[in-house]
Amino acid sequence: MTETKKLLLFGATGVIGRAVLAHFNTLDGWSVLSVGRTRPADISANEFISLDLQDRDACDAALGALTDITHVIYAAVYEKPGALIEGWRDPDQMTKNDQMLRNVMDPLQRSASPLEHVTLFQGSKAYGSHVEKQVPIPAKEAWPRHDHNNFYWLQEDYMRACQADAEWAFTILRPRIVFGGALGSNMNPISAIGVYAAIQRHKGEPLHYPGGLPRINQAVDTDLIAQACAWAATSPNSWNETFNIDNGDVFVWQNVWPTICEGLDMPMGENKPYFLENLLKDEADTWAKIVEAYGLRAPKEIGKVVGQSLGYTDWQMATGKDVAPNPVISSTIKIRQAGFHDCIDTEQMFRKWFGIYRRDGLLP
């Protein structure tokens, strides 16, 4: 009989965490204990710890008492309210994210849990994508650390120091632009585009492309990230290694826009640049009316649906820029050679997630 492994999942209500929870709940031999500020209705009380990761004493009490955790997936992140993009360079945000991880790992290491593996997340900002005009293509994990301040480095240095004399291992995943199913996430273009489309539908308008000039991008489906987490948890090839991860192809927003329109059952419009972030103040009442008119299961408060994802999507679409930003393309050869081969067509990903949002009554 296979011994059950127990996953402690941080950031369970976020865009990555939701997918990880759903995937691990389908796997034999695993149980999941989720951690977050507020328990969602679809997670039972005995499978959830309500916890503020910035509260060190609360973390000590709650996590230090655990005795059966074998795996940790840390998908929690602090993003500065109202200043998502600017926050990436903010020293206070870096300090908070560093301290949150310490508040988790310090009591876990002192506990009696038989810890085997920890998964941590970074992203393309590890290559300086937010501070450089051009990141060399393709970005590779073997490169020397890019010289800039980043909470990634604070967390990674702490993790490596903890692991040096421990029996557990860690894996760092660096996803490209993340797409998935989570309301209120700060970086989920699916919710942002979906709300924009619903408002356009309500106005009797086609789905105009709101972004800027064409730019080559890479996407990653959260379901693919969840599968990679399961692989990393038990694959020695992943241990104490860092991996880029994406869907396996590239995309240009303008080229996939017809597929997005199809997935939302909307006629395609023209290229009409518009800052989606303006929806927060200009169309908050419209969104509330849409929720009521269609009997949607989404919150009437638009901010609870999109978080800071509207501004994030503007940034990813290069809205308002006179020159398209240079592409950031990561190599995913390393993770494939290590044994993780799953992939998904990015257009299929868009069809899937917009179909799920509509099926679940989150969009018309």
CATH classification number, 182-218+250-330+344-359, choose in 3.30.450.20, 3.40.50.720, 3.40.960.10, 3.40.50.920: 3.40.50.720
| Rounded-to-integer distance, Cα 291 and Cα 295, Å | 6
- Identity of the amino acid at 184: G
Summarize the confidence of residues 336-343 as an average pLDDT: 98
Do the two domains 5-178+220-245 and 182-218+250-330+344-359 of this chain adopt the same fold?
yes
Does residue 286 contact residue 199 with C-beta atoms inside 8 Å?
A: yes
For 256, other C-beta atoms within 10 Å of its C-beta total: 17
For the segment 296-311, what is each residue's pLDDT rounded down to a tens digit? 999 999 999 999 999 9
- Identity of the amino acid at 176: R
Q: Which of 176, 283, 260 is nearest to 211 (CA)?
A: 260
For 47, other C-beta atoms within 10 Å of its C-beta total: 15
pTM value is 0.96
| Rounded-to-integer distance, Cα 358 and Cα 223, Å | 18
Give the pLDDT of residue 42: 87
pLDDT, averaged across the chain: 96
2 or 165, greater pLDDT: 165
Does residue 80 contact residue 93 with C-beta atoms inside 8 Å?
A: yes
Residue given tokens 């209120």 in the structure block = 184
Tokens of 323: 């020159």
- Residues in contact with 63: Cβ distance below 8 Å, sequence separation at least 6, in sequence order: 8, 51, 104, 107, 108, 111
260 or 44, greater pLDDT: 260
Residue given tokens 């005795």 in the structure block = 67
Q: Is the pLDDT of residue 1 over 60?
A: no
For a pLDDT cut of 90, what percent of the chain falls above it? 93
Summarize the confidence of residues 121-147 as an average pLDDT: 94
| Rounded-to-integer distance, Cα 199 and Cα 317, Å | 19
Summarize the confidence of residues 95-123 as an average pLDDT: 97
Domain ranges of the chain: 5-178+220-245, 182-218+250-330+344-359
For the segment 55-75, what is each residue's pLDDT rounded down to a tens digit? 999 999 999 999 999 999 999
Q: Helices 309-316 and 189-202 meet at what angle, rounded to 10? A: 100
Q: Is the pLDDT of residue 14 over 80?
A: yes
Q: Which of 182, 190, 227 is nearest to 20 (CA)?
A: 227
Residue 357, CA distances (Å) to 83, 98, 267, 306, 312 in order: 27, 33, 18, 13, 19
Q: Is 56 exposed, middle or buried, given 0-12, 13-18 or 19+ CB atoms closer than 10 A?
A: middle
3 pLDDT tier (thresholds 50, 70, 90): confident
2 pLDDT tier (thresholds 50, 70, 90): low
CATH 3.40.50.720 matches 5-178+220-245: yes
Does residue 48 contact residue 62 with C-beta atoms inside 8 Å?
A: no
- Residues in contact with 14: Cβ distance below 8 Å, sequence separation at least 6, in sequence order: 75, 76, 77, 182, 185
Does residue 179 contact residue 218 with C-beta atoms inside 8 Å?
A: no
Tokens of 175: 């996803």
